[in-house]
Structure 1
Amino acid sequence: MASGEKSNGIDELRKELLALLNGGQAHATFDEAVKDFPEVHRGTVPDGLPYSAWQLLEHIRITQHDILQFSAPPTGGYQPIEWPAAYWPQSSGPSSVNAWDASIAAIHKDREAFEELISKPEADLYKPFRWGEGQNLLREALLIADHTAYHVGELIMLRRLLGIWHK
C-alpha cells in the first residue's frame, strides 16, 4: 500500500472519530440533551433513579477530563482519581446558578482539546501510551464517545420522566 493510501485512511478515521465525538448521528447530541434544562429540575432525582441531571452532567465532565488527562498528561504525568467516588458529585444539585453552564463549557473545552489531539497529523492513533495497560488514542476517543452517548441517553430519559423533553 502506498503511503498516500495509508494517510487517506487515517485522515478518514480521524474525520469519523470527530463526528462520533460530536454525536448526533444516531441519536440526540449532548447539547440537545442539556439545552434549556430548567434550573428547578437540575438537582431533581426522579423516583427509581439514583442520580440527578446535575450528577450526570458532572460525571460526563469529570470522566471526559480524566480521559483527556490520561491521553495527554500534563508535565507531571497522569494522576489517576479514585473510582468511583471522584467520578460522581456528592450533591444532587449544582452549588451555584453558574455551575451548570460552567460544567457544560468545561465539557466543550475538554472535548475540543481531545479533538485537537486526534487531529494532529503526527498523532499515532494506534500506538499504545507509555503508561497504562496498552491503551491508545483511538481507544480513548471511542471511550469518550461511548461514555458520553450512554449518559446523554440517561439525561434524555431523566428529562422524559420529569416531563421536560420536548424533541
Structure 2
Amino acid sequence: MDPLVKELKKLLAGGGAHVGLREATANIPFAALGEKPHDLPYSIWQLLEHIRIAQWDMLEFSKDAHHKSPEWPDGYWPKEAAPPDEKSWDKTLMQYEGDLKSFIELIQTRDLYEPIPHGTGQTLLRETLQIADHTAYHVAEIVVIRRLLGIWK
C-alpha cells in the first residue's frame, strides 16, 4: 500500500494525536445528547450530525459530478438539539462509518493529486485532509461538551 494512503487512512480514523470520533461518542447517556452547557450554540447531537453531513457532502462531491451540496450553513446543521430517539443516534453513527469506509475505498483506488473533473481545482488529497481536519475540530468540541457535562473519562 502507498505510504501516503496508509497515513491518510490512519488520519481519517482519528489520527494518533487525539481521540477519534468513535471514542469521543462512546457511552454517552442518551439524555445528554441534546444538552448545550454554558450556553454553547450546539449539542453533541448537532455536532455529530454536522460531521456526518459534511463528510457525506465531501464524499459525494469527490465521486459524483451531479451531486448538489446542501445550502450553507442551514443544510449542514440539524435544527433539533437532540435526536428523536436512540435509533436515530445509532443510524447517524452507522452512516458516518459507512461514508468513511466508502471514502477510504475511494482514496485507495484513485489518483490523490488529479483535480476532480467537476471541481474548481480540488483534489482527492485536499478532500481527504479537509474531512480529517473538519472531523478532528468538531470531535474536540464533543470532548469539551462531555467534560462540561461531567461525562468524559
Q: TM-score w.r.t. structure 2 length? A: 0.97
Within the candidate set 89, 99, 104, 1:100 is matched to: 89
* Closer/same/farther in 2, CA of residues 21 and 52 from structure 1, 3 Å limit: same
The amino acid of 2:105's aligned partner reads: E
CA deviation after TM superposition for structure 1 residue 138, in Å? 0.2
Alpha-carbon RMSD: 1.1
How far is 1:40 from its partner? 0.8
Q: Equivalent residue for 2:35?
A: 44
Q: Distance in 1 between matches of 2:67 and 2:118?
A: 8
In 1: Cα distance, 2:86 partner to 2:7 partner: 36
Q: Distance in 2 between matches of 1:43 and 1:24?
A: 27
Q: Distance in 1 between matches of 2:75 and 2:111?
A: 30
Structure 1 vs Structure 2: percent identity of aligned residues?
A: 50
Deviating runs (4+, > 3 A) in structure 1? none
Is 1:27 matched with 2:14?
no
Larger radius of gyration: 1
Residue type of the alignment partner of 1:83: W
After TM superposition, the structure 1 = structure 2 runs for residues 60-79 of structure 1, keeping only pairs within 5 Å, are 60-73=51-64, 77-79=66-68
1:129 paired residue number: 116
Q: CA deviation at 1:29?
A: 1.2
- How many residues of Structure 1 are paired with residues of Structure 2 in the alignment? 153
Deviation at 1:106, TM superposition (A): 0.4
- Structure 2 letter corresponding to 1:101: D
- Paired residue type of 1:48: D
Aligned pair 1:144/2:140, yes or no?
A: no
1:82-121 mapped onto 2 (5 Å cutoff): 82-120=71-109
Q: Which one of 139, 142, 148 corresponds to residue 155 of structure 1?
A: 142
Deviations 1:72-98 (A, max 9, x none): 11xx71212100000000000002221
Give the match for residue 57 of structure 1: 48
Unaligned segments of structure 1, at least 5 residues:
1-7
